[in-house]
Amino acid sequence: MDDLTTSDATKALSAKQGKVLNDAVTSLNARGNDYYTFSGDVVPVYASYKDLIITTNMAKGHYLLMIESDINRGYDNASDILIIYISGVTGGRLIFAPQFRGTVSSGGGTSAWALIEITSETNSLKFTTYGYINASYTQHYAIAAIKLI
């Protein structure tokens, strides 16, 4: 594989990969396609589910969501698990939203994707995590939503 791709979804993007992603989003914007970006933080509680709700107010349509989640840097127990999934859409519906897990290493993270439909001008996304790690940490989410149709 070249240095623009990776087969390890738990690794953060390199500077070159980040530039390629940024250039792709810039190109989509220049062509008039709709895309949105969002972010948010949640502090998971050990052995409990915790939700993060982000108000999006996206235009009606079908979207591909690309989701990245990582934890605060400095946490380094590679055997711990990090989970990420979109668990609900207010003002729309989930079409396909698998659950993704990764292992933590040097502040690691994981990525996910989902297909959703937005049916109302007022909408929000709900992400759910689970506190597998018995430690204090913050889980950060970064989301890109690209309108398909």
- Whether 75 contacts 137, CB under 8 Å: yes
Any idea which residue has 């398909």 for tokens? 148
CA atoms within 13 A on the CB side of 88: 12
Report pLDDT digits (tens) over 100-142: 888 776 656 788 899 999 999 999 999 998 888 888 888 889 9
48-88: pLDDT as tens digits: 999 999 999 899 999 999 998 888 655 666 678 888 889 99
Q: How far apart are the C-alpha atoms of 99 and 69, rounded to whole Å?
A: 13
Query: What tokens appear for 145 in the block?
Result: 């939503």
Residue 44 pLDDT class (50, 70, 90 cuts): confident
End-to-end CA distance of the chain: 32
